[in-house]
Structure 1
Amino acid sequence: MSGATNFNLPDDLVNYLKVLDDFIEREIRPLEEQDDNIRFFDHRREDARTDWERGGLPTEDWEALLAEAKRRADKAGHFRYPLPREYGGQNGTNLGMAVIREHFATKGLGLHNDLQNEHSIVGNNVGVLLMLAYGSEQQKAEWVEDLLQGRKRFSFGISEPDHGSDATHMETTAVREGDEWIINGEKTWNTGIHKASHDLIFARTSGKAGDGFGITCFLVPSGAPGFTVKEYLWTFNMPTDHAHVVLENVRVPHSSILGEEGRGLQVVQHFFNENRIRQAASSLGAAQYCVNEAVSYAKIRKPFGKALATNQGIQFPLVELQTQIEMLRALIHKTAWMMDEYGAFSVSDKVSMCNYWANRLCCQAADQAMQVHGGLGYSRYKAFEHIYRHHRRYRITEGAEEIQMRRVAGYMFGFMSQKAPKGVSED
C-alpha cells in the first residue's frame, strides 16, 4: 500500500544494540566471571549482595563491582546515552532507551543490567536529567559532573509513612527563617541514602493538604544536624537500601531549593513518564526472558517419555503470554516514539497502560516459567524467583497499578488533561 507506515526500528538503533552486545561480551561478561563475581548472579546472589550484619545493606564489594561496570561503560561512551552531547551523551531518545532496556532484560540476570537496583551500563541518570532541567547554573556546575562520576548522588525523599501514593497530603514541612529553611518530617522508602551525599526532600512550604502547589524540593545534606536514618526497611528481595529517615529542625539555605519554590511536585512529574516507560520496557524484557527459558526447557524435558513441549497444557499458557508480550511491545514502542515526537505528557494514559500491564505480565511470566520448570523453577538455581520478587515490587512502586489505572480512567472520562503541568516545559 502506498504510504504505509514502516514499523521497523531505526537502523542506527538496531546497529547500536549490536555495539552494546559486543561491549558486553568484551568488557562486562569477563568482569562478571572473574574473581567469583558470578556469585552475585547465581544461587548465592542474595547472600553475596547483602550485608546481614549491617542492617541488610548492599555489601561493599557488590557495589564496587557495579561501580566498575559503570566506569567501563562510561569510558566506552555508553553510560550517558540519554544525555545531551555537551555532557558526553548521545541525545538518546525515549524509544532508544525503551528498546535498550528491553533488550538488556531479555538477556536475564547479569552485570550489564541488574534490575533490582536500576543498575545498567546505559544509565537512566534521572538525577542528572533533573539537575539539567531544574538546577540553577551554580547547581549544575556544582553537581552534574560529580553525579556522573559518582562523587555525589542524591536520594528521593517523597513517600511518607502515612502517605504513599498521595504526595499532595505530605506532612513534612519547611518554614523559612531569613535565608534558611527549617525542615521537619519523616520520609520512607528513601532508596540509596546509605551512599547519597544529599537527599532531595519534598516538603510543604505553603498551601493546604491536597494542594498540588505549595510543595518545594530541597537538596538536604544527608549529614546535616537533625537528619537521621531511623532504619532500613527489609524487603521481598534483599539487599535493602530503602530507608526511613527523620528530619528534626534540619536547616538548609534558600539556595538548596531545586526548581521553583512551591513547584516541587512538577520537578518529579516531569520525568515520571520517561521513567515509567523505561521500567515497563524492562518488565517486558524480563517477561520475554521467562517465556524463552520455559520454551527451551519444555523442548528438552521428557517426563513419561515425551517432551513437555508436546503438551497443550504447557503450550497454551505460554502462547497467551507470548501474545500479550507482542501486543505490549507494540504499545511500548508506539508510546515511546510518541513521547519523542509530541512530548512526554502527550501520552500519559498510554504510559500508565504500559507500566501497570508490563509489571503484572512479568510476574505472570515468571510464575509460569517456575511451573514449567517444576521444582527446579522454584529453586534459586534459576532466576525466576528473583525476577518475580523484584518485579512484584513495581506493581506498587513507580505508582501502584491501581494508581496507573486510575490515571487512565481520568483521561478516558475527562477528569484529567494530557498537558504539561504549569511551569514544566516539554522541551
Structure 2
Amino acid sequence: MAGTTNFNLPQDLLDYLKVLDDFIETEIRPLERQDDNIRFFDHRREDARTDWDRDGLPNEEWEELLFEAKRRADRAGHFRYPLPKEFGGQNGSNLSMAVIREHFATKGLGLHNDLQNEHSIVGNNVGVLLMLAYGTEAQKADWVEDLLQGRKRFSFGITEPDHGSDATHMETTAVREGDDWIINGEKTWNTGIHKASHDLIFARTSGKAGDGFGITCFLVPTETAGFKVEEYLWTFNMPTDHAHISLKDVRVPHSTILGEEGRGLQVVQHFFNENRIRQAASSLGAAQYCINEAVQYAKERKPFGKALASNQGIQFPLVELQTQCEMLRALIYKTAWMMDEYGAFSVSDKVSMCNYWANRLCCNAADQAMQVHGGIGYSRYKAFEHIYRHHRRYRITEGAEEIQMRRVAGYMFGFMSQKAPKGVRED
C-alpha cells in the first residue's frame, strides 16, 4: 500500500476536551447549582429566563449568570480559544471548534453551553473576528477588547421585513452628505439589540436591487437620533431578544463604515461557513444527546413486564437516527478539516449539506426521544421540547433549508463557484 490515512482526532484536542470537562465540573456546574440557578435549566427554564413584563426580553439575572460563566471561562483561558494568540486565544481551528461544540451539546442543557443565547464557555466571537478582519486600526483599538469583555456589543441589522433570504434586494438606503451618511429603512430579527451599543446596519449605497455589490455596513450607535426599536418579536422558544427596528434620517459619520464601501455583504459572507459548520456540530451534539437519553430510558422502562428496548419498534427508529449521526459526524469533521487546509470557501457545498441536515436531524431526534419517553418526554421535565423548539429555528435562521439546498445545487450544476467572493479574504 502507498500509505495509510489516520482518521483519529488530534491527541492535543482530545486532551483539551478533558481540560474543558474538568473546568465545567469544578467551576461551571457549582455555579449552575448555587442560588437556585438550576431554575434556568429545569422545567421552569422558559419562565425563569423570560421577563414577561418587559416585552418578553431575557431576564436580567439570567443574562448576568451567562456573563459570569463567560468571565470565569475567560480567566481560565477558554473563552477566546479560536482567536489568535495575540488576543489571548489559542488559534483554535475549525475542526477543533466543531468537535468542541458537538462535545458540549452532547452533554445536554447547561451553563457550559446554551445555544438559545449563542452562549458557550468557548466563545464563537463572530463580532471580534469581523472586527479583526475588516476593522480599521482605530476601530480595532476601540472595539476588540471591549467586545471580549462585554463592555460593547453590536447586533446585526441585515434582514428586512419584506426581504429575508435575499439580502441583495434590501430597501434600507444610505445617502452621503459630506462626511456623513443618512440612513433610512427598517430591519427585523435584530438579535441582542436590547444590550447592543451599536447595530451593524447594512444599507444600499449604490447599484440597484439584486446587485451583490453596492451594499455597505455601518456601525450605528443605538442611541442615535432616528434609531428606534419598534417591537420585540415573540418566538417559538422564549425569551426573545429579536427586534424590529426602524431608521429615520439616521446620521452617522463616514468612519462608522466597517470594511469597504459597497462590499458589506462580503463582510458577512466571510464567516458564514465557519459559523454554519459550528452550528451544524452543535445540532449534531444535541441530536446525539436525545438519542442517548432515549436509549437509556428504553433500557429502564418496562411496560407490560419487559424493557422498551426489546421492541424493534423502539430500536429501529433510533438505529436510523444513530446511523445518520455517524455519517454526519464524519462529514462535519472532514468539512471542518478541509476548511482549515484549503480555506472556508473551498467546501461551501459541504457546509450547506452539514448545516441543513444537522438541523433537521436534531429536530427528528428530539421528536423521537419525546415519543420513546411518552408523556414525560412531552413535558418540560425533559429537555427534548426545548431542544426541538430551539433547533427548529436553525432550519430557518442559518439560511433556510431550501436556501442551503439551492446552494448545493448551484455547486453541483455549475451555477456557483467554490471560490471566495471578490473582496473576501480567505485568511
TM-score (norm 1): 1.00
* Aligned counterpart, 1:217: 217
Residues 12-411 of structure 1 correspond to what in structure 2 (within 5 A)?
Answer: 12-411=12-411
One-letter amino acid of the structure 1 residue matched with residue 118 of structure 2 = E
SS at 1:231's partner residue?
strand
* Aligned counterpart, 1:414: 414
Deviation of the 1:2 alpha carbon = 5.0
One-letter amino acid of the structure 2 residue matched with residue 250 of structure 1 = V
Deviation of the 1:127 alpha carbon = 0.1
1:370-412 superposed Cα distances (whole Å, 9 cap, x missing partner): 0000000000000000000000000000100000000000000
1:254-298 superposed Cα distances (whole Å, 9 cap, x missing partner): 000000000000000000000000000000000000000000000
1:137-191 superposed Cα distances (whole Å, 9 cap, x missing partner): 0000000000000000000000000000000000000000000000000000000
Give the fraction of aligned pairs with identical amino acids, expressed as a percent: 90
1:53-82 superposed Cα distances (whole Å, 9 cap, x missing partner): 000000000000000000000000000000
Deviation of the 1:3 alpha carbon = 1.2
SS at 1:418's partner residue?
coil
Distance 2:4 2:295 in 1: 34
1:76-105 superposed Cα distances (whole Å, 9 cap, x missing partner): 000000000000000000000000000000
SS at 1:187's partner residue?
strand
One-letter amino acid of the structure 1 residue matched with residue 54 of structure 2 = R
One-letter amino acid of the structure 1 residue matched with residue 131 of structure 2 = M
SS at 2:252's partner residue?
strand
SS at 2:321's partner residue?
helix
Distance 1:183 1:325 in 2: 46
Distance 1:71 1:371 in 2: 39
1:19-58 superposed Cα distances (whole Å, 9 cap, x missing partner): 0000000000000000000000000000100000000000
Distance 1:62 1:128 in 2: 23
SS at 1:324's partner residue?
helix
Distance 1:370 1:363 in 2: 11
Deviation of the 1:425 alpha carbon = 1.2
Deviation of the 1:424 alpha carbon = 1.1
Structure 1 unmatched ranges of 5 or more? none
Distance 2:2 2:256 in 1: 56
One-letter amino acid of the structure 1 residue matched with residue 306 of structure 2 = K
SS at 2:67's partner residue?
helix
Alignment length (residue pairs): 427
Structure 2 unmatched ranges of 5 or more? none
Distance 2:114 2:40 in 1: 10
Distance 2:225 2:349 in 1: 42
One-letter amino acid of the structure 1 residue matched with residue 355 of structure 2 = N
Distance 1:276 1:424 in 2: 17
* Aligned counterpart, 1:4: 4
SS at 2:231's partner residue?
strand
One-letter amino acid of the structure 2 residue matched with residue 321 of structure 1 = L
SS at 1:53's partner residue?
coil
TM-score (norm 2): 1.00
Distance 1:423 1:42 in 2: 46
One-letter amino acid of the structure 2 residue matched with residue 203 of structure 1 = A
One-letter amino acid of the structure 1 residue matched with residue 276 of structure 2 = R
One-letter amino acid of the structure 2 residue matched with residue 103 of structure 1 = H
One-letter amino acid of the structure 2 residue matched with residue 143 of structure 1 = W
Distance 2:394 2:5 in 1: 33
One-letter amino acid of the structure 2 residue matched with residue 242 of structure 1 = H
Deviation of the 1:115 alpha carbon = 1.1
1:98-131 superposed Cα distances (whole Å, 9 cap, x missing partner): 0000000000000000011110000000000000
1:215-249 superposed Cα distances (whole Å, 9 cap, x missing partner): 00000001100000000000000000000000000
RMSD over equivalenced CA pairs, Å? 0.4
SS at 1:182's partner residue?
strand
Moved over 6 A (4+): none
Distance 2:398 2:373 in 1: 31
Deviation of the 1:324 alpha carbon = 0.2
Deviation of the 1:326 alpha carbon = 0.1
SS at 1:103's partner residue?
helix
Distance 1:287 1:188 in 2: 29
SS at 1:358's partner residue?
helix
Deviation of the 1:367 alpha carbon = 0.1
One-letter amino acid of the structure 2 residue matched with residue 271 of structure 1 = F
One-letter amino acid of the structure 2 residue matched with residue 165 of structure 1 = S
